[in-house]
Amino acid sequence: MIEEDVAETSRAWLLDFGSGLQAAVGHHEMLQVLISPTLFDIPCVSPYCNEVLIHEERILPVLDVSSMLLEKQQVTSPPTGYVIGISLYQDDPTHPIHYGGLHLATTPQSIYVSDNQACDILAHQEYWKPLALSCFSHEGVAIPVIDMAYLFSEAFNTFIQSSH
Amino acid sequence: MERIPLYVLLVFDGRYLFIPQEEVESVEIIADVQITRSSTSVIGWFFGHGNESPVFCLAKDLSLLSEIPKSREYFVLLKNEQQPLGITCDEVENINFKREHLHPQELHPVMRIVGSPVRQLLVYQEKIACVCSGAALVKHLNLQLEPLEQSETT
């Protein structure tokens, strides 16, 4: 009997951060999507994370990934129609779950990814390298799977501030 | 003994700022400020408590304003090694965090930058308030004043 190689398939969320930045996270790493929630601006903080929202009695940071990685000026959220994804992450499986908001250009797309879609990060997508756990090809585009805990970490924030 | 979490709330331009009460010398009315015009953003001086204290106006983004908005009715005199320093506000109130069941959250690591006076955030009257230390706020003011003073001397 010939054993067939069966590629493992996983569910993921495809996130569009705007400015051509797309990345994927595990299906369990997105909690909710909010349309035009009330955002509060905070002074004297990082330019890519200067807003927060109140979610279930917690104050969550709202991160603009395209501003963080591409050093773009953060655009003030329009009065209506903007999308905020609530992600969850753990620094370590033994640590409590943390929540964070992400500015998104559109609502996340649920996709299936198989092992045989694996590819390398493209040279012009260098900015994803510190965050990427792996990468796959989706509709002809290389999509990194990003480490959400590292994205929201002090270490990555320090790295970004020293490299800007 | 448990420390009583007493704070002074300053409200200006819709910004809610809490400063530990122990770092506040006094709260005064704006009428007691001797208004001056200066390029260093000192909007006036307060002569009281045996000191000459400069008074500043902050905008919502905590940058310095060179003129006093009409809504500013008070100023809070912050303790400082060299001389107390005033910050104007529209409203001011003493708040006991414990009594008001207020629970500040540490500023998220991804929001932090070096030299920021903002240490914590909390939900207050359905808004987000910033908790600052008085010393960090004085340092923040001095950092903004340095380039202004340099341009004045050149």
Per-residue pLDDT at B1 exceeds 70:
no
Starting at the earlier edge strand, list the strands of the sheet with B91-96.
B91-96, B6-12, B15-20, B127-132, B118-124, B105-106
Please report the pLDDT score of residue B120 as a whole number. Answer: 98
* Alpha carbon separation from B23 to A100, A158, B26, B73, B150 (Å, rounded): 32, 30, 9, 21, 29
Query: How far does the CA of residue B49 sit from the closest CA of chain A (Å)?
Result: 31
Please report the pLDDT score of residue B73 as a whole number. Answer: 97
CA separation for the pair A135, A147 (Å, rounded): 12
Per-residue pLDDT at B95 exceeds 80:
yes
Give every residue of chain A whose pLDDT is below 50, as ranges: none
Residue B114 has which token pair? 């070096």
Residue in A50, A57, A154 closest to B109 by CB: A154
**Which residues fall within 8 angstroms of residue B18, CB to CB, at 6 or more apart?**
B7, B8, B9, B10, B95, B104, B122, B124, B129, B130, B131, B132
Q: Give residue-wise pLDDT tens across range B75-88.
A: 999 999 889 999 99
CA separation for the pair A122, A142 (Å, rounded): 7
**Partners of residue B127 in chain A, C-beta under 8 Å:** 40
**Partners of residue A63 in chain B, C-beta under 8 Å:** 110
Please report the pLDDT score of residue B50 as a whole number. Answer: 86
Does B112 sit within 8 Å of A154, measured CB to CB?
yes
Residue whose structure tokens are 């990060």? A121
Residue in A54, A57, A61 closest to B110 by CB: A61
Mutation choice for A interface testing from B15, B63, B65, B108 by most A CBs within 10 A:
B108
Please report the pLDDT score of residue B154 as a whole number. Answer: 54
CA dihedral (B54, B60, B62, B65) positive or negative? negative
Nearest residue in chain B measured CA to CA from A100: B108
CA separation for the pair B118, A163 (Å, rounded): 23
Which residues of B make CB contacts under 8 Å with A?
A: 15, 60-62, 105, 107-118, 121-123, 127-128, 130, 140
Please report the pLDDT score of residue A76 as a whole number. Answer: 60
Residue in A43, A49, A59 closest to B118 by CB: A43
Does A54 sit within 8 Å of B128, measured CB to CB?
yes
Query: How far does the CA of residue A122 sit from the closest CA of chain B (Å)?
Result: 26
The DSSP code sequence of A23-80 is: EEEEGGGEEEEEES---EE-SSS-TTS-EEEEETTEEEEEE-HHHHHH-PPPPPPPSS
CA separation for the pair A106, A38 (Å, rounded): 18
**Partners of residue B111 in chain A, C-beta under 8 Å:** 42, 45-46, 49-50, 52, 61
Higher pLDDT, residue B135 or A76 = B135
Higher pLDDT, residue B151 or A144 = A144
Does A45 sit within 8 Å of B118, measured CB to CB?
yes
Report the DSSP beta bridge partners of residue B129: B122
Residue B135 has which token pair? 């010393």
Please report the pLDDT score of residue A92 as a whole number. Answer: 87
CA separation for the pair A52, A57 (Å, rounded): 12
Per-residue pLDDT at B37 exceeds 90:
no
Please report the pLDDT score of residue B3 as a whole number. Answer: 77
Residue B77 has which token pair? 């005199």
**Partners of residue A44 in chain B, C-beta under 8 Å:** 61-62, 113, 115-118, 140
Per-residue pLDDT at B58 exceeds 90:
yes
**Which residues fall within 8 angstroms of residue A128, CB to CB, at 6 or more apart?**
A23, A69, A121, A135, A144, A146
What average pLDDT does this structure show over B108-133?
A: 96
Please report the pLDDT score of residue A80 as a whole number. Answer: 66
* Alpha carbon separation from A114 to A118, A120, A139 (Å, rounded): 8, 15, 13
Residue in A45, A54, A154 closest to B116 by CB: A45
What average pLDDT does this structure show over B100-121?
A: 96
| Cβ A29 vs Cβ A90: under 8 Å | no
Please report the pLDDT score of residue B49 as a whole number. Answer: 84
CA separation for the pair B95, B115 (Å, rounded): 26
